[in-house]
């Protein structure tokens, strides 16, 4: 979390405080974590009550989605590089890493769109379908939001602003790492614990 240094008087020890932007982002992401926890709770509740989970014919593209998961996990490393570059005040390098991260997120979303088009069930087919689309759909919306956040961050730090880019890119990184971590849990739950 970014830290702000303040000193009220000369020759007084500097106080290090976390940035309000960083604290606010962590609080907001905590509420997002509770939202996804409720969705996971619903998934496991329906799974426990179902006679057959997943229902017959509910086949998923596990291998292709595993590859998309590797792409998304890779984007956490590129986001980390963007944050490092921003903290070193290298705006150009930070923008490059943000663009690569946004491209990897878009590849992940493309796989999700292809999977939705090919699935043999819909959101109204059964409880499994409802929960599958709710979990993956809300996550997909968060990925779209993350890519939009990155593009807005790129526009902000590429513009004429002289404000340091580090805090903005760091907060973008918090969000993106959160989205990636949620997907890892979701992939394990939906695709591996069948």
pLDDT at 11 over 90: no
Domain 19-192 -> CATH class: mainly alpha
pLDDT at 31 over 90: yes
Instruction: Choose the weakest-confidence range: 55-59, 82-86, 158-162.
Output: 158-162
Instruction: Choose the weakest-confidence range: 8-12, 28-32, 81-85, 141-145.
Output: 8-12
Which pLDDT band holds residue 162 (cuts at 50, 70, 90)?
confident
Mean pLDDT of the chain: 91
How many residues are there in the chain? Answer: 194
Q: DSSP characters for 64-81?
A: HHHHHHHHHHHHHHHHHH
Q: What is the pLDDT of residue 23?
A: 87
Q: How far is CA 85 from CA 21, 26, 42, 170, in A?
A: 19, 22, 40, 10
Q: State mean pLDDT over 135-155.
A: 97
Q: What is the pLDDT of residue 8?
A: 55
- Give the whole-angstrom CA distance, residue 62 versus residue 194: 11
- Give the whole-angstrom CA distance, residue 32 versus residue 142: 10
Which pLDDT band holds residue 163 (cuts at 50, 70, 90)?
confident
38 class by beta-carbon count within 10 Å (0-12 exposed, 13-18 middle, 19+ buried): exposed
Taking Cα atoms as reference points, which of 96, 104, 87 lies closest to residue 179? 104
Which pLDDT band holds residue 19 (cuts at 50, 70, 90)?
confident
Which pLDDT band holds residue 17 (cuts at 50, 70, 90)?
confident
Taking Cα atoms as reference points, which of 64, 43, 15 lies closest to residue 130? 43
- Give the whole-angstrom CA distance, residue 12 versus residue 101: 42
pLDDT at 141 over 90: yes
Q: 153 versus 194: which is more confidently predicted? A: 153
Q: State mean pLDDT over 138-158.
A: 96
Q: State mean pLDDT over 105-125.
A: 96
- Give the whole-angstrom CA distance, residue 2 versus residue 61: 40
Q: How far is CA 144 from CA 10, 102, 112, 125, in A?
A: 47, 9, 11, 26
Structure tokens given for 142: 């968060």
Q: 91 versus 3: which is more confidently predicted? A: 91
pLDDT digits (tens, 9 = 90+) for 179-193: 999 999 999 999 999
Q: How far is CA 141 from CA 105, 133, 138, 172, in A?
A: 11, 11, 5, 16
Torsion angle in degrees (nearest 10) through CA of 107, 112, 116, 122: -170
Q: Where are the domains of the chain?
A: 19-192
User: What percent of the chain has pLDDT above 70?
Assistant: 93
Question: How many angstroms from the chain centroid is the CA of residue 14?
Answer: 35
Structure tokens given for 156: 């902000």
């Amino acid at each position: 979390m970014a830290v702000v240094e303040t000193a009220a008087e000369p020759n007084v020890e500097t106080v290090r405080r976390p940035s309000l932007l960083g604290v606010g982002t962590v609080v907001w992401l905590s509420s997002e974590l509770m939202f996804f926890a409720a969705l996971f709770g619903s998934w496991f509740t329906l799974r426990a009550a179902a006679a057959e989970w997943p229902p017959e014919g509910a086949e998923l593209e596990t291998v292709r989605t595993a590859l998309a998961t590797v792409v998304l996990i890779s984007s956490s490393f590129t986001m980390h590089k963007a944050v490092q570059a921003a903290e070193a005040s290298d705006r150009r390098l930070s923008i490059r890493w943000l663009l690569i991260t946004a491209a990897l997120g878009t590849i992940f979303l493309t796989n999700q769109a292809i999977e939705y088009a090919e699935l043999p069930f819909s959101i109204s087919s059964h409880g499994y379908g409802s929960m599958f689309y709710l979990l993956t759909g809300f996550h997909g919306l968060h990925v779209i939001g993350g890519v939009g956040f990155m593009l807005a961050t790129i526009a902000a730090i590429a513009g004429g602003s002289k404000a340091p880019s580090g805090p903005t890119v760091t907060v973008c990184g918090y969000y993106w790492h959160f989205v990636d971590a949620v997907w890892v849990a979701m992939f394990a739950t939906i695709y591996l614990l069948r």
